[in-house]
Amino acid sequence: MTHVVSPDAESWVPVPVGSGFPLQNLPYGVFSTPEAGPRVGVAIGDQILDLDAVAKAGLFDGLELPAAVCASPTLNRFIALGRPLWREVRAWVAELLSAGNDELEAAGIAGRAIVPQRDATMHIPIEVPDYVDFYSSIHHASNVGMLFRPDAEPLLPNWRHLPVGYHGRAGTIVVSGTEITRPSGQRRGPDGGPPVFEPSIALDFELEVGFVTGDANALGEPIPVGKAEQHIFGLCLVNDWSARDLQAWEYQPLGPFLGKSFATSITPWIVPLDAVEPYRVAPPPQDPEVLPYLRTEGFAGLDLRLEVEIVPEGAAGTTVTRTGFADMYWTMSQQLAHATVNGATAHAGDLFASGTVSGPEPGTLGCMLEITKNGTEPIMLDDGSERAYLRNGDEVILRGWCGAGDGPLISFGECRGVVLPAR
């Protein structure tokens, strides 16, 4: 069985026209229903295949997949089993759901193993042991550099030589739909005076893409760049909420801290890396040539389309960004290789985020900091209101997908969050 589902393959489960969850996707998540608590599922159309029900019916008995893994409240135990089993399970799930397959019916579980998404509550799919956020878009880094260092080179000397990043706070990663409380903290005082402690007045979103790893390496053993993707389970969308005024005051000399650690949202579905293999592309050339431990070949990039919508409270939404992931300067394999080159470990469920994804033109920028030039040029939303940064009651929705035209659409789902007032 192949790990890439044929683009012509169809499921016996009805998949609505335009759905981003066809047989070619099969993303993993964790869901609950009124009848049972959190367990592992796979999205198909507007339904969920309950892997716990499948396992209890003995339909995974030919695989080395412990039944208890599918009953887990997170994906971590499954992810820890490694890439060969990920691929076997994905291929078998695709077979079970393929047109003409009646094994769920024969086992007497078709009625309860297929759960409407509308009847399910989605949970955070992974318990995140460690979280790293990178700074990998050359357009974003250049725009930020021009904003804050207008008389200097936009990119700092190290930027083209390594994937710049920082270690974030795993405990505040939340699933899409979780409300985001406006953070309070220190920011610069008016007219250069002493700092003040108040709710942030420059709350921002960051449009990012994350990858989730399996157990990858022992302490002290770097992951070679050429083998990095063997340890990547799948991808999700990430909103690394940012309080720009808190960040500006605190970040020198050690980098982001309280301005980012209050909340990071991820999508409830993790899209397997194999699902996006048909959409891999060559990354942009890197100049100067990077050091040997970061050199890659082939199609290490991904043609992923992204957009951000801001929905004011009680009003229609406005799409403020449409951009793409294909021209990210630093790739996933380079990020993982660099993060472990000093011997640091990667574990099942670790989240590595790309950093803000921005394009080269207006309308393709991945955060309000860039869109409004740090609040100096507010934008007009479709309801007539202006935004320099986010207001209380605003909902931010991130969307991402691969594919277009006649081929299958591979959706990453939505990453949503509503801003609440500070406490």
Active site residue ranges: 140
Closest C-alpha to 42, from 95, 2, 83: 95
- Please check the confidence at residue 1 and state whether its pLDDT lies above 50: no
Closest C-alpha to 113, from 58, 75, 164, 66: 58
CATH class of 131-420: alpha beta
H helices then E strands: how many in the chain? 10, 26
User: pLDDT tens digits, residue range 317-329?
Assistant: 999 999 999 999 9
How confident is the prediction for the chain on average, in pLDDT?
96
28-123 fold? SH3 type barrels. (2.30.30)
For residues 237 and 174, what is the distance between their CA atoms, to the nearest angstrom? 12
pLDDT at 351: 98
User: pLDDT tens digits, residue range 103-126?
Assistant: 999 999 999 999 999 999 999 999
What residue spans of 276-387 are helical by DSSP H? Answer: 332-340, 368-371
- Please check the confidence at residue 405 and state whether its pLDDT lies above 80: no
Report whether 43 contacts 56 (CB < 8 A): no
Residue 397's contacts (CB-CB under 8 Å, 6 or more residues apart) are 308, 309, 310, 311, 317, 414, 415, 416
User: pLDDT tens digits, residue range 183-210?
Assistant: 999 999 988 899 999 999 999 999 999 9
Taking the domains of the chain in order of start, what are their residue ranges? 28-123, 131-420
The whole-model pTM stands at 0.96
- Please check the confidence at residue 269 and state whether its pLDDT lies above 70: yes
Average pLDDT of the residues in 340-353: 98
**Chain centre to alpha carbon of residue 240:** 10
Largest Cα span, the chain: 74
pLDDT at 2: 52
What residue spans of 81-206 are helical by DSSP H? Answer: 83-97, 103-106, 110-113, 138-148
